[in-house]
Amino acid sequence: MKYLVILGDGMADYPVPELGGATPLMKAFKPNIDRMSEYGELGLVKTVPDHLNPPGSDIANMSVLGYDPDKFYSGRSPLEAVSMGIKLGDEDLAVRCNLVCLSDDEPYEQKTMLDYSSDEITTAESKDLIEYINEKLGTPAFRFYPGISYRHCIVMNVPAGVKLLCTPPHDITERQITGYLPKGFMSDELLACMKKSYELLTEHPINKARVARGLKPANSIWPWGEGRRPSLSDFHEKYGLRGAVVSAVDLVRGLGICAGMKSIVVEGATGTYKTNFEGKADAAVRFLLDGGDFVYIHMEGPDECGHRHEIPEKILSIEYIDARVVGPIEKALRDAGEDFRMLILPDHPTPLVLRTHTHDAVPYIIYDSRQKFMQNPGAKYDENFARLTGVYVPEGHKLMARFIEGGKA
């Protein structure tokens, strides 16, 4: 038996006025996933406990992978740091560092968050910018490391037990940043770095070239997602399966690595809806047919579209997951004579109207290729049909055992 998780980050949503009160999942043409919802187990799962804030992809994906975030969660950025190959010491605090676009208002504290991704800046451009910032601002206390696109890392050497509180930039799009600046230990030093980064990046040739091309400049660093070195139990020891993760983002790669899984890098994987869907599907199938047991395929596109309020693109990203990932994987495994179980779900909702994540339960399907009879005739994979089944898993970290073992969570 082969096991696959198809994770469409942020797919779930609220009713969208522009869609006549439908959600993107309701509007998307997804015949493969909808058929599986008729034959499989369809229900809702609570992936992020209400008491954990913010309801981010770190907590949600950890939960979906079968790890109780109340026991294992230590922050978002350390997971990304692991994927980036950064060695964290006992007194190192890892902090996500976005390259963002702020307005040109003065002073710095009165600027507005125009774009948390700087028009989804390319990895090549942002690597040069972060290395420039590290050259100018890096110290033993603040070390900057390049990642993918706008997503980078700061490692701060600070005593264990101290608190630094930062705000995710995608939560404050089009808002003035006053009131959302870092608070707590070394926050003054961090704010000074942010201000200096604005001066340095505004005049950088890469940003001048971006503005000339009609793109937003990456004119400031923005810290968030702070945390310490994580420790997860081994996935193979926990479930008896040899696993791999396929993702373009360091967060999910880091989760997999911390769980002892293989991280498969796919050329052309971007973390947006313009990604190499076929490459991810092919990599997953190759791993399974070469002796692997379990693959966690993460696709960031729907989440990015939710943050950017891109309605058609969010629908399209869901349709791409169905047509370019789910369908081809099912065909390849059936052609190879392999039985398989597939878990399809988002990690959390990213409602277009809010442009950020919420704690709401999300719809899931557990599909078994051996199932011959419909369980939910006429069902579609969306929030409403999942609610109507009455199936609800209140603790998201227990869904993995339900999926693998075929029992009740």
The CATH number given to whatever domain includes residue 11 is 3.40.720.10
83-108 average pLDDT score: 92
Give residue-wise pLDDT tens across range 22-41: 999 999 999 999 999 999 99
What is the number of domains present in the chain? 2
DSSP 176-236: B-TT-S-EETTHHHHHHHHHHHHHHHHT-HHHHHHHHTTPPP--EEEEEEEEPPP----HH
In whole angstroms, give the CA distance from residue 162 to residue 168: 19
pLDDT at 407: 54
Asked if 326 and 393 sit in the same domain, the reply is yes
Give residue-wise pLDDT tens across range 307-330: 999 999 999 999 999 999 999 999
Which domain, by its residues, includes 336? 2-73+231-405
**Sheet containing 362-368, strands listed edge to edge, beginning at the edge strand earlier in sequence:** 262-264, 243-246, 294-299, 2-8, 340-345, 362-368, 41-45, 392-393
Domain closes at, from 196, 227, 258: 227
Asked if 223 and 237 sit in the same domain, the reply is no
Give residue-wise pLDDT tens across range 134-183: 999 999 888 999 998 999 999 998 888 888 999 999 999 999 999 999 99
In whole angstroms, give the CA distance from residue 392 to residue 287: 32
Domain closes at, from 166, 199, 227: 227
Asked if 174 and 297 sit in the same domain, the reply is no
Question: Taking the model in full, what pTM does it have?
Answer: 0.85
% residues pLDDT > 70 (the chain): 99
Residue listed under structure tokens 């729907």: 302
Q: Residue 94 falls within a domain, yes or no?
A: yes
In whole angstroms, give the CA distance from residue 276 to residue 148: 15
Asked if 8 and 130 sit in the same domain, the reply is no
Asked if 312 and 347 sit in the same domain, the reply is yes
Q: Can you give the length of the chain in residues?
A: 409
Asked if 196 and 246 sit in the same domain, the reply is no
Q: Residue 349 falls within a domain, yes or no?
A: yes
pLDDT at 409: 39
Asked if 307 and 344 sit in the same domain, the reply is yes
Q: Residue 158 falls within a domain, yes or no?
A: yes
